[in-house]
Amino acid sequence: MAPNGLVARPAWSASRSSARRPARKRAEALLGGIEMLQRATNLSELTERAALEVLGLTDAAAAVVYLEGPETRPHLAISGALDGATADARAAMVRDLVPAGTAAAYALLGNAGTLLFARFRAGALRGAILAERPDTAFEDADGWVLTAFAGHLGAAAAVLCTPERLPQPKRLRPADAVVRFSDPTAGQDRAPRPIGAHPLFCLADVIGPSAATAAVRELARVAASSSSSLLIEGESGAGKEVLAQAIHSGGPRRDRPFVAIHCAAIPGELLESELFGYEAGAFTGASPRGRAGRFEMAEGGTLLLDDIVELPLDLQAKLLRALQERAVTRLGAGRPRPVNARIVATANRPVREEAGCGRFRPDLFYRLDVLHIVIPPLRERPEDIGPLAEHFLRKYAAAQGLRLRTIGEQVLRSLELYSWPGNVRELEHWVEREIHFAPAEATCLERLARDPLAAGHQRPPQAIRPLREVEREVYAAAIAEAAGDLTRAARELGVSRGKLYRKLELYGLSPR
């Protein structure tokens, strides 16, 4: 027995899932509760919404939610069947237990296990949730759900405390002060912390019952506990950035920034200054105050290098040096600045193959490939399609004020038969489109306005052809595309000039 009657419980496991509610229904309720949190516009509304959602999440009779921070007044919300004296006692209990430990686990209070308690922490904010059943003990599954919900509650509270979401200074009340996530260092010109408009994804957002997705989640849990470099590979739309955010949110750097840069979306001449920053007057048009780069913005947190294979070779060398020395030099600066950011890189094609073809530095690949996760395409895990589609259905239906919650069998069969070349992103956009054509009062999506298989996206099966015939066409097309330039053709094919010559001789091809 711990102090204050705390009884710690082991983490939830599928084998002990509650008989009262299947695991899938619990997950659905959790997702719905998270969506309700994200619709709150201030901390008072957030705590009130959270207290109401806890009742449905855990089948509790009453719930108490408490939130506090050094620069915001405490917020308390109580829902359910509690008389005045009991409510005051439960509120006092929650306040006393908040400072007692971290937000890592849930606990059962008392010997009967009729009180369930979970803490949360996000930056300088901290708080707790208490759920109560007078006559029925809570189970491990209830603890798992409440812990996950508490984590999202903390993230939502942190977002509502960012400067962008608060009134302008002239309208601020003393009780609505901004939470400071880091103290500025005197004399340094640091860019503002890049906190997004919504909470980051967490491991609960990696949805899917397939064995492949379960394996990805397990690898993600291992990666979350580490600060080593991580390489995530997968086709476009497979969910690489969602996984990167989830790993950041589940690790020791969760309270520090998550900064992303899309290497393919920024012109090469600007990419270096985006990564490493620049000093005042470093180039024409530079800010007179200089600017911090993404490495400095991610100090103490995670830097996501999206589409790392698109990084030019000259910048790959500078990136490698920054990783090895744990320091960056701004453009126009004379000395390096130490940085502490975990690097997560993503790629939509195998980086090892790119390195073997000379399009990516092998030494940088080995530096990034300490931990490695490959996300399978959606067509290889069709059992994930239904849960993902229902998740997106509830998300966009709520945004449109609709009641849609489930997907009918006929629709599910149509979705599972399609190969989804755009993966999870394509599925999400498809579902977002479909909700606009559903009946206003419908709770189940029974039919599709446009069947994926009939939309012309599904490629017909191709006849099997001899490998020699296909290879000859590939080499011929490369020579034609390169206008007879053998060096360029070899580079595009990813082979040596010697091998190219042998293939040309074998197939009777000649450059134009």
Q: Residue 296's closest CA among 334, 255, 333, 330?
A: 330
> pLDDT tens digit string along 142-192?
888 888 888 888 878 887 876 434 333 333 337 332 222 233 333 333 333
Domain total of the chain? 4
With 50 as the cut, is the pLDDT of residue 17 above it?
no
Judgement on whether residues 149 and 66 belong to the same structural domain of the protein: yes
pTM of the model: 0.55
Judgement on whether residues 244 and 159 belong to the same structural domain of the protein: no
Distance CA 246, CA 423 (A): 19
| pLDDT given for residue 341 in this prediction | 96
Quick check: helix, strand or coil at residue 67?
Answer: strand
Q: Residue 364's closest CA among 309, 294, 327?
A: 309
**Token output for 92:** 């006092």
Distance CA 168, CA 181 (A): 18
| pLDDT given for residue 457 in this prediction | 47
Judgement on whether residues 428 and 499 belong to the same structural domain of the protein: no
The residue type found at 312 is: P
360 vs 18, which has greater pLDDT?
A: 360
pLDDT class of 58 with cuts at 50, 70, 90: confident
| pLDDT given for residue 5 in this prediction | 33
> pLDDT tens digit string along 445-454?
999 888 887 6
Judgement on whether residues 105 and 124 belong to the same structural domain of the protein: yes
Interval 351-363 mean pLDDT: 93
CB proximity list for 490: less than 8 A, separation 6 or greater: 496, 497, 499, 500
Interval 199-210 mean pLDDT: 88
Query: Residue 188 carries which DSSP code?
Result: -
> pLDDT tens digit string along 230-252?
999 999 999 999 999 999 999 99
The CA distances from residue 2 to 12, 108, 110, 130, in Å, are: 20, 10, 10, 17
**Residue 347 structural domain:** 203-281+289-374
Residues 270-304 as b or e (16 or more Cβ within 10 Å = b): ebbbbbbbbbeebeeebeeebbbbbbbbbbebbbb
Judgement on whether residues 444 and 420 belong to the same structural domain of the protein: yes
Residue located via tokens 């996950």: 148
CATH number of the domain that residue 319 is part of = 3.40.50.300
> pLDDT tens digit string along 302-343?
999 999 999 999 999 999 999 999 999 999 888 999 999 999
- Residue at 194 is within a domain: no
- Residue at 190 is within a domain: no
The CA distances from residue 429 to 29, 42, 46, 56, 318, in Å, are: 22, 29, 28, 29, 37
The CA distances from residue 284 to 278, 290, 329, 332, in Å, are: 12, 12, 19, 12
- For residues 343 and 323, is the Cβ–Cβ distance under 8 A? yes
With 70 as the cut, is the pLDDT of residue 6 above it?
no
Judgement on whether residues 107 and 159 belong to the same structural domain of the protein: yes
- Residue at 492 is within a domain: yes
- For residues 269 and 261, is the Cβ–Cβ distance under 8 A? no
